[in-house]
Amino acid sequence: MRAAPAGAGRHRGSDRAARGRARRALAASAPSDATHVVFHTAVLMYLDDAGREAFVRQVGELPGHWLSVEGRSVVPGIRVRDDVPNDSSDLVLAVDGVQRAWAHPHGRALTWAPNP
């Protein structure tokens, strides 16, 4: 087994910064009248806590809106609306980090959460 080369891993922060610049550049390349939307469903559960927190921070830095459909404890910072009737398997549908509805995992039903 060989040791890692000197300086290996040192550029992780700069790699993240470069990816952040690339995301912002991609967003800036869209037409000026476009509405930017980041959408994902049931994928953040595959990231560890640090990865989820980084994703939330990075998507918050982009222009436009963020639409997520994830498990109830997956996205940090979203207040889960247990005051609205839901099944234990329902997913949290959120817009810009605020829960708007409970969604059946396969799209069969949607229960809106009033007054977020």
Is 91 within 8 Å of 105 (Cβ atoms)?
yes
30 is a domain residue: no
Q: Pairing state of beta strands 65-70 and 91-95?
A: antiparallel
Count, in order, helices (H) and strands (E) of the chain: 2, 5
For residue 93, what are the domain limits?
A: 39-112
92 is a domain residue: yes
pLDDT number for residue 114: 92
69 is a domain residue: yes
99 is a domain residue: yes
The pLDDT tens digits of the residues spanning 19-75 come to: 878 888 888 899 999 999 999 999 999 999 999 999 999 999 889 999 999 999 999
Return the percentage of the chain with pLDDT > 70, whole number: 88
18 is a domain residue: no
Number of domains in the chain: 1
